Structure 1
Amino acid sequence: MAHVLSFNDTYPKTPLLTRIVEGFAGWIDRYAENQPRMRGVRALQAMSDEQLAARGLKREQIVPHVFRTTF
């Protein structure tokens, strides 16, 4: 009895350097998105305009407000 194994690539291989760069870029993106300030920006952006007005903010002031100590 004979057994035959066949390996056919059904997708093109991505070059190693491209995979490394894409992996690093993905890591940077995940790191930046999980920072407390970015969570604060997303929380304020999720509020309605009335809720922002109650806090004394306009929508275009969200990022400067959250990052005010670093700018």
Structure 2
Amino acid sequence: MSIAATTSTSTSIGHSVGNFFEGILNFLVRIAESNGRMKAVERLNAMSDAELAARGLQREDIVRHVFRDMFYV
């Protein structure tokens, strides 16, 4: 009985291109997550509904509230 093992160190062009675009996407996500507005959304999202009500907000209005000076929604 014999066992044959093959290993390939070459990568396909499609895989390389996919890795390139995945890197760009990860970079853009990191930029968005480091944005102060996104941190404010996360902070408000972590609050309870009672805490949001004390601030005059509902959960579905958090993004509209944080970005109110940038977008008219």
Give the TM-score normalised by structure 1: 0.80
**Distance (whole Å) between structure 1 residues aligned to residue 8 and residue 34 of structure 2:** 36
Alpha-carbon distance in structure 2 between the residues aligned to 1:64 and 1:9: 51
Q: Does 1:27 align with 2:27?
A: yes
Deviation at 1:35, TM superposition (A): 0.2
CA RMSD of superposed structures (Å): 2.1
Per the normalisation by structure 2, the TM-score is 0.78
By how many angstroms is 1:16 displaced?
A: 1.5
Structure 1 unaligned blocks of 5 or more: 1-7
Match of 2:51 in 1: 51
| Distance apart, 1:48 and its partner CA | 0.3
Seq. identity, %: 46
Runs of 4+ aligned residues of structure 1 deviating over 3 Å after TM superposition are none
Cα deviation digits, residues 42-68 of structure 1 (max 9, x gap): 000000000000000000010000000
Q: Supply the distance in 2 between the matched residues of 1:13 and 1:30 (Cα, whole angstroms).
A: 27
Equivalent residue number for residue 65 of structure 1 = 65
Q: How many residues align?
A: 64
